[in-house]
């Protein structure tokens, strides 16, 4: 930006402080996006990173246009904004079949909470029953512990429990 000092729109004194800040922020953003592009566990992660990359490009180019007044770069902005989404849409349309499964009914968190709650209730009931029987002094069989189970606590088990490991 030093060579274009006669075309700067913003006061150079302000720009001397603001420009390095902006450059550092954009650099950090792009480095993180490239890390995600390399590391992303699936192709969809990489397509999201691609979208973020293009949007950051738009922001950076917009900042440059605002600072230097180069209006001839606006069509670039227009083209990227209008056509930048085609990449991720076409890749997500053809995500390979080996990666997909039909949406299966697994155990969502609310179901898991209900499960643990009913298990905890059953455990408390058995505990109370055992304490009562030991206090009475008679060795009651397991059928009392069975009767101690609350009537409505149906354990909600997973239908097809497919454990998704995080890669």
Binding site for other proteins (CB under 8 A): 9-11, 14-15, 18, 21-22, 25-26, 28-30, 32-33, 35-36, 41-42, 44-45, 47-49, 51-52, 55-56, 58-60, 62-63, 65-67, 69, 71, 74-75, 77-78, 81-82, 84-85, 88-89, 92-93, 95, 99-110, 112, 159, 162, 164, 166-167
Rounded to whole angstroms, the Cα distance separating 105 from 161 reads 8
**Shortest CB 162 distance to other proteins, Å:** 8
Q: Which is nearer to other proteins, 124 or 162 (CB)?
A: 162
Q: How far is the CB of 55 from other proteins (least distance, A)?
A: 4
* Residue 154: closest CA among 112, 114, 109: 114
The tokens describing 43, both together, are 């192709």
72: DSSP letter? G
CA 147 to chain centre: 45
User: Which of 103, 142 has the CB closer to other proteins?
Assistant: 103
């Amino acid at each position: 930006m030093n060579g274009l000092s006669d075309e700067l729109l913003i006061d150079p004194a302000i720009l001397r402080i603001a420009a390095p800040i902006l450059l550092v922020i954009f650099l950090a953003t792009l480095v993180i996006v490239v890390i995600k592009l390399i590391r992303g566990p699936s192709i969809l992660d990489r397509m999201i990173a691609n979208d973020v990359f293009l949007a950051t490009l738009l922001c950076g180019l917009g900042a440059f246009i605002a600072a230097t007044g180069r209006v001839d770069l606006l069509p670039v902005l227009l083209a990227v904004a209008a056509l930048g989404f085609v990449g991720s849409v076409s890749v997500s349309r053809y995500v390979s079949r080996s990666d997909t499964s039909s949406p299966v009914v697994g155990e969502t968190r609310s179901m898991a909470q209900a499960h643990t709650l009913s298990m905890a209730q059953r455990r408390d009931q058995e505990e109370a029953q055992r304490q009562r029987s030991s206090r009475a002094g008679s060795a009651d069989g397991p059928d009392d512990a069975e009767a101690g189970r609350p009537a409505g606590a149906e354990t909600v088990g997973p239908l097809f429990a497919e454990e998704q490991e995080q890669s």
